[in-house]
Every structure is written in C-alpha cells, then in structure tokens.
Amino acid sequence: MKFFVDTADVSEIRAMAQTGLLDGVTTNPSLIAKSGRKMAEVIAEICALTNGPVSAEVTATDFDTMLAEGRYLRAIAQNVCVKVPLTEAGLRTCRALADEGTKVNVTLCFSAVQALLAAKAGAAFISPFVGRLDDIGQDGMQLIADVVQIYRNYAFSTEVLVASVRHPVHVLTAAKLGAHVATMPPATIRALFKHPLTDRGLEAFLADWQKTGQSIL
C-alpha cells in the first residue's frame, strides 16, 4: 500500500519524506488556504520534495474553467496530479485531461457507482472519503470493499486512494481490502508507529543496557 500525506504544510511534508515512507501528497483548496500562500508556489515546492504524485485541486465548477485550471496546474511540475470533484463537469474534465496524458484524482466520492463512473472517465485515482461516511452513520470501509471488488471485476487501472482517514484502523482495514493508497494527515501517519508494548519494550531494553555501562560507539 502507498502512503500519501494529506497536507499543504511544506515542513510536515519534508519531515514525512525523510522517513522514506512517503509515496505522494494530496492537497485541497482548504489545505492551501490554511497555508496562507499562493497555490502555484505551494504546489511547486511540494513537488520538489517528492517524486510521487502531488494532487492539486481545481476550484472551478464548470467544465471549461476546470479544464483550463487543470492544464495550468499540470504545467507546474511533472508529478502534479490534477484533482477534480466527482460531478458531471468534473468527470468530463477528467476524461479530457486523461486523454491528454494527465493523471487525474477524482475526489469527494461517496458511492461505489460514483467510483465506477470515475474509472470509466479515465481517473488515475479515485478518492472515497471513509471518515465522512462514518460521521453520518454509514460504513466508510464498506465503500472501499465495494470499489475494490468492482475495479477487480473489470480490471480497471484506477487506483483506490482511501481519503478522510481518521485513525490506524482505517489504514489496516483498507490494506486488508487491497486498496492501493491511503492518504492521511501527518498526525495519523505518526500514530501508525505507536504501540504501548513497543514503548514499554524499548524502555526495558535501554534500562538493561544502561546497567552494563557500555557504549556501542
């Protein structure tokens, strides 16, 4: 499974990249707004920190402007993946950009039939939002199971990018279901490292070693 970090905070992305575990980055207009910087500058800087895809989202809602924005964003760097919403205009834009050789991430997916449409439109990634479904009492991970099954049935090349990930259990379940990617805020990625028994075991090992009075170096 690939790990993407979901942020526009360049310092966080740099720190995640240094772990060697980062495969890409996702951003959205809300995350860019929090940075207080111009979108093109932020995306260019992020693209220089990773060789993986960096999702940069259009803000228009009509086809003509979406397409123009998508073409502008993809010109920022070779690893830009244009992000479009799962609307009729968004999927039309996806098809046009995909036909031009641009990777497209279709976002705000909340049903399996929406995901099917995105795959048919040539999306490189589909982003189902599991946490937001959980918030309204639906089973977000069931959506992932349904999409993975449909894509396997028809051998679609679209990758399932699990979004709105809230905790490590989401990641575990997505990996067991065979999702291709999970995109997470930095705090959620850091939570994957943690286990109380790991901390307890390390403390015991270090205490025993300290008693020997030795040093490896």
Instruction: Mention every residue, 6+ apart, whose C-beta is less than 8 A from residue 29.
Output: 57, 59
Q: Within a domain: residue 157?
A: yes
Q: Within a domain: residue 108?
A: yes
**Active-site residue, from 2, 34, 38, 83:** 83
pLDDT at 140: 98
Q: Within a domain: residue 217?
A: no
Mean pLDDT over 85-99 rounds to 98
The answer to whether the CB of 2 falls within 8 A of the CB of 176 is no
Q: Within a domain: residue 204?
A: yes
Q: Within a domain: residue 187?
A: yes
pLDDT at 80: 98
Strand partners, 6: 26
Rounded to two decimals, what is the model's pTM? 0.95
pLDDT at 78: 97
The answer to whether the CB of 133 falls within 8 A of the CB of 143 is yes
> DSSP class of residue 111?
S
State both tokens at 205.
């090992």
Q: Write the CA distances from 154 to 54, 116, 146, 151, integer angstroms.
A: 27, 10, 13, 5
pLDDT digits over 103-133, tens only?
999 999 999 999 999 999 999 999 999 999 9
Q: Within a domain: residue 123?
A: yes
pLDDT band with cut points at 50, 70 and 90 for residue 33? very high
pLDDT band with cut points at 50, 70 and 90 for residue 49? very high
Average per-residue pLDDT for the chain: 97
Q: Within a domain: residue 193?
A: yes
pLDDT at 170: 98
pLDDT at 204: 98
Count the domains in the chain. Answer: 1
Mean pLDDT over 68-78 rounds to 98
Mean pLDDT over 30-57 rounds to 96
Q: Is 194 assigned a catalytic role?
A: no
Mean pLDDT over 10-35 rounds to 96
CATH code for the domain in which residue 171 is found: 3.20.20.70
Domain extent at residue 27: 2-212
